[in-house]
Every structure is written in structure tokens, then in C-alpha cells.
């Protein structure tokens, strides 16, 4: 474990039902905490999905970096002008959106390093004015990017398809490659790219798989989940290492 305990790394939570009585909890996967502990350094700080009750300015004053996590839930359609989504097919978490959308905008304004993962990439795009496809698998010519319903975790989170990175781009420099095999656990994807974002990678079907910010500062979003395999996959580890280096540089 590396030691940068003075750094606070915000990790976005979701509202999820737990236990026999289905009580609402605020949760983030242990994989993000492990990535911060083992690679990024600093103290993981779980950010509750408490909607418009969140103290965004307080968080921005104290955080040294922000990780927007993946989730089964989708970004609520109301925030990007999309059609209503059937709740049984595509659960939404608007209480999370009410926290993360202004939080990521504020983080970018302040120059805080931001790493956006899966749902986090979609939030980033919506926060900056972009739109989303709600179900990529329903679109002509698109492969099925959704989570394999497979209880065996190594299969469920294993490599699913290839992505091609922008030649000489920032992400290609970070991972030291211009092509990757990645996992795939999402239904939504970027439709209209938001201003201020640059495409860094695409899947073979043209789906945007990674972006960076066009302004100064560290802003990286990936559609896959590097937190699942950073302990044995060099490219995934390099993504978290680059985020940690940015936190050290800007704090």
C-alpha cells in the first residue's frame, strides 16, 4: 500500500436496496476503495447520493480528486432531455445525479482531477451538455455492451471487446497502447458529445469508449471498468496511477 493519506479522494455512491427489508443504503463497490488504497493513495471518501441536500461547495473545498463510479442505475433522462425509461428495464438514481452533475462541473472549474468510470463517463457527458443513447443494444449496427448475466465474476467482468485509441492521444500515452481489450457492463452510451470533451477511444461499432477534457487539468472518462482488474492488468493500473499523479501535482 502506498501512503498519501492527506489526500481526500471523493468516490460517488448510489442509492441501493440492501437486506431482507430492502432498506436504502448509500454504496460504492469495494473495488474503487481498493484502487485508491493500493494505487491512487490518499483517503477514500464516500459521497452520499443525497440529492439537493448535498453540500457541493463543502465537498469541492476539501476534495483533492474525484472518482465518478459505475452503477447498475442509469443517468435520469430528465437531465439530458431523453424519453422516459421503464424503471423495470433501466433503473434511475436521480438523487445521485443531483449530486454528481453539479459536483463534476465544479470540480472541472476548480481544476480538481476527475476520473469518470462507466456511468461516471455518462454523467460527465450529461453534466457538460451532452446526451445519451439509452440502450445501445437496440440500435442498428451496435454490439451488445450490457452486463453478461453470469454469476461467475471472472466471466462477468472479463474482457468483452476491443477499443481503438486515438493515435498519439492522451489516453494512449497513459496506457502505453493504441488498442485495448476491455470489459463491458453498460446499456447507456454517449450520443451527442458534450462541448469540452475529446474522443479518446471507440469500440469496433463506433461507440465512444473514452474521453478526455480539452482544457488544462486531468479529466479522463472511460466506459469500461479498470477498477475490476487493476491488480493484474497494466493498462488499468496505469489509468489509476495517472489519476494519482495528477492528484499529487494539483494538491
225 is catalytic: yes
Rounded to two decimals, the pTM is 0.93
Q: Which CATH number characterizes residue 95's domain? A: 3.40.50.880
Evaluate whether residue 25 is within a structural domain: yes
Evaluate whether residue 132 is within a structural domain: yes
118 is catalytic: yes
**Residues contacting 173, CB < 8 A, separation 6+:** none
**Residues 68 and 100: beta-carbon distance below 8 Å:** yes
Q: Which domain holds residue 48?
A: 8-250
Evaluate whether residue 202 is within a structural domain: yes
Q: What is the mean pLDDT of the chain?
A: 91
Evaluate whether residue 40 is within a structural domain: yes
Q: What is the pLDDT of residues 186-235, one digit of tens each?
A: 788 999 999 999 999 999 999 999 999 999 999 999 999 999 999 999 99
Q: What is the pLDDT of residues 32-84, one digit of tens each?
A: 999 999 999 999 999 999 999 999 999 999 999 999 999 888 999 999 999 88
Evaluate whether residue 2 is within a structural domain: no
Evaluate whether residue 1 is within a structural domain: no
Evaluate whether residue 3 is within a structural domain: no
14 is catalytic: no
pLDDT of residue 94: 95
Q: Calculate ∠ Cα 146-244-128, nearest 5°.
A: 55
Set 13, 14, 118, 145: catalytic member = 118
* Number of independent structural domains in the chain: 1
Amino acid at each position: 500500500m502506498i501512503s498519501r493519506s492527506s489526500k481526500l479522494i471523493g468516490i460517488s455512491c448510489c442509492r441501493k436496496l440492501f437486506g431482507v427489508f430492502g432498506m436504502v443504503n448509500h454504496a460504492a463497490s469495494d473495488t474503487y476503495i481498493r484502487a485508491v488504497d493500493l494505487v491512487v493513495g490518499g483517503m477514500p471518501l464516500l459521497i452520499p447520493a443525497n440529492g439537493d441536500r448535498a453540500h457541493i461547495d463543502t465537498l469541492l473545498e476539501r476534495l483533492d480528486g474525484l472518482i465518478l463510479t459505475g452503477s447498475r442505475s442509469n443517468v435520469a433522462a430528465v437531465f439530458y432531455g431523453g424519453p422516459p425509461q421503464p424503471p423495470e428495464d433501466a433503473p434511475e438514481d436521480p438523487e445521485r445525479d443531483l449530486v454528481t452533475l453539479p459536483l463534476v462541473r465544479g470540480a472541472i472549474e476548480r481544476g480538481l482531477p476527475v476520473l469518470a468510470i462507466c456511468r461516471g463517463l455518462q454523467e460527465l457527458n450529461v453534466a457538460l451538455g451532452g446526451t445519451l443513447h439509452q440502450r445501445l443494444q437496440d440500435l442498428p449496427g451496435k454490439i451488445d455492451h450490457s452486463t453478461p448475466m453470469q454469476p461467475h465474476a471472472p466471466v462477468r467482468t472479463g474482457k468483452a471487446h476491443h477499443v481503438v485509441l486515438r493515435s498519439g492521444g492522451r489516453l494512449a500515452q497513459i496506457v502505453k497502447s493504441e488498442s485495448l481489450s476491455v470489459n463491458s457492463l453498460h446499456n447507456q452510451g454517449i450520443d451527442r458529445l458534450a462541448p469540452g470533451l475529446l474522443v479518446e477511444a471507440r469500440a469496433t461499432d463506433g461507440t465512444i469508449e473514452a474521453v478526455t477534457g480539452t482544457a488544462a487539468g486531468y479529466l479522463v472518462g472511460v466506459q469500461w471498468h479498470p477498477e475490476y482488474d487493476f491488480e493484474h492488468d497494466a493498462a488499468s493500473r496505469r489509468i489509476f496511477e495517472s489519476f494519482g499523479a495528477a492528484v499529487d501535482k494539483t494538491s
